[in-house]
Amino acid sequence: MSRLLVKNIIAENIMDVDATVKGWIRSVRNSKKFSFIVLNDGSCQDSLQIVVDDVLPNYADVASLLSGSAVAITGRLVKGGGKVQSIEMQAKSIEIIGRVDETYPLQKKATSLEFLREQAHLRIRTNTFGAVMRVRHHLAMATHEFFSKRGFFYLNSPIISGVDAEGAGEMFTVSTLATHASKAPKTKEGNFDFSKDYFGKETYLAVTGQLEGECYAMGLGAIYTFGPTFRSENSNTTRHLSEFWMIEPEVAFADLDEIADLAADYIKFLISYALEHAHKELEFLMSREDSTAAKNHMEILKHVRDSKFHRVTYTEAMEILSKVDPKVKKFEYPTEWGCELQTEHERYLAEEHFKMPVIVTDYPKEFKAFYMKLNPDGKTVRAMDILVPGIGEIIGGSQREDNLERLTKRMDEMNMQQEPLWWYLDLRRFGSVPHAGFGLGFERAIMYITGMNNIRDVIPFPRTPKNCDF
């Protein structure tokens, strides 16, 4: 008997045939002459209800199975009796493949997200994490479809990097000297002699693939990265991970306006794709008891998908914020021109003022990276951030400085060494063109679309300070 997936049984409405299903028991309910098994095989949000008659030879064994047990069940697929379940199976034989005992951590029905974080290896067996990770999958597929259909080429930028591309210093060192530090070759000062390390220099985990993305956009025209990036900052918040995935498109001959349009289209496409391919997952997540997503989250997503994103300059954003009545909303941080847009400001703009994702452009150069294109005002740069309700910043992008002189001048102002970035400067020496790109934090996008409110719950094995147990 060939095995069928629950997804296919439901999607193709397979009935009145014999089949085999294999999966894990979500629940067993025993009545007088029957047991009802709810079986999930991970292929979709739905489970299949199996009716088990007590005439089965191993009925006593089956009726005593605990949730989490693995079984293979052969039987007849028939029209279901309940309202929701359109198809159920009448079992003819049940093979017990893998049992669980009372020590199984996911026994209880009510398992908090916090508890499940300590069971990162098992939590995918719950309805909640099954839903989140299937949404994550579909958003990854949406990403490749969106960019490749527009002629972008997927670039695997390097993970081990020789430069601090953001100049922020929040980097992990990659080394083969650290395991036996006492025996490592050292300098006079007692530090590692990195010239003797594996790569012959100190190397880091990449914080971005942008600079390499720029190299490739100068050859392929338009590229996007989709890979892991790293920050060693000591942030224990619901929005920060030490290891997270980013999508970074880079487009030759594009300016900031084009890239802002691309970013808005991309977010809308992600929403649209998730609503189409993971509707049941999203509905399930919204219905969870501890969901903090707005009751009308699905409506909000549809609204965002169908609306034009608001666009304001940093200067306009500060004006809006400075006019907010402190009785209505009191900000902790100042709202004067020249001050940073803090998360409280970002969330106010997206959640209270515009009630929509908002694109903020043209920030003071002091807050932004060295490679952003200077505006004619000499004070602001062609940068943009996209802020979304509930999360704050989800996308950061810019038009890049393509003029060698202005770029090196800015590096000098910021006391940056040019030598390690000789290859990056070469892009401005040889056939330089205007170009622009952005970075989307994949986990923040998943949070936004699923309504999950802790970033640790939207990545399979979260890495945070003092936390790398799995």
Token match 């997804």: residue? 7
How far is residue 97 CA from its own chain's centroid? 34
Candidates 227-235, 296-304, 379-387, 410-418; binding stretch for a copy of itself (CB under 8 A):
227-235
Residues 243 and 233: their CA atoms lie apart, in Å, by: 11
Residue 22 or 355 having the CB closest to a copy of itself: 22
Token code pair at residue 368 = 């932004």
Residues 6+ apart with CB under 8 A from 352: 329
Residues 309 to 368: which contact a copy of itself by CB under 8 A?
Answer: none
Q: Which segment (134-142, 264-272, 342-350, 351-359) binds a copy of itself by CB under 8 A?
A: 134-142
470 is an interface residue for a copy of itself by CB under 8 A: yes
Per-residue binding letters, 44-63, with a copy of itself (x by CB under 8 A): --------------------
Binder of a copy of itself out of 4, 28, 38, 41 (CB under 8 A): 41
Under the binding rule (CB under 8 A), the answer on residue 212 touching a copy of itself is yes
- Strands 222-230, 153-155: pairing is parallel
Cα→Cα distances 401→255, 383, 428, Å: 11, 11, 9
Report the residue number, 32 or 466, with the smaller CB distance to a copy of itself: 466
Question: What is the phi/psi pair of residue 410, to 5°?
Answer: -65, -40
- Contact residue for a copy of itself among 144, 305, 311, 368 (CB under 8 A): 144
The DSSP 8-state label assigned to residue 190 in this structure reads S
Only segment of 139-147, 326-334, 348-356, 378-386 that touches a copy of itself (CB under 8 A): 139-147
Q: Is residue 103 near a copy of itself by the rule CB under 8 A?
A: yes
Interface pick for a copy of itself out of 1, 3, 79, 406 (rule CB under 8 A) = 3
Burial status of residue 387 (CB atoms within 10 A of its CB: 0-12, 13-18, 19 or more): buried
Of 379-418, binders to a copy of itself (CB under 8 A) are 402
CA distances from 182 to 178, 192, 276 (A): 9, 10, 57
CA 338 to chain CA mean position, Å:
31
Q: Lay out the site mask for a copy of itself across 165-204 (x = CB under 8 A, - = otherwise).
A: -------xxxxxxxxxxx-x-x--xxxx-----xxxxxx-
Binding mask 431-460 for a copy of itself (x = CB under 8 A): xxxx------------------------xx
Give buried/exposed letters for 108-141 (b at 16+ CB in 10 A, else e): eeebebeebbebbeebebbebbbbbbbbbebbbe
Do 386 and 395 meet the contact criterion of CB atoms below 8 Å apart?
yes
- Least CB distance from residue 376 to a copy of itself, whole Å? 19
The CB-of-128 to a copy of itself minimum distance in angstroms stands at 11
Compute how many residues bind a copy of itself; rule: CB under 8 A. Answer: 110
Binding mask 231-270 for a copy of itself (x = CB under 8 A): -x---------xx-x------xx-----------------
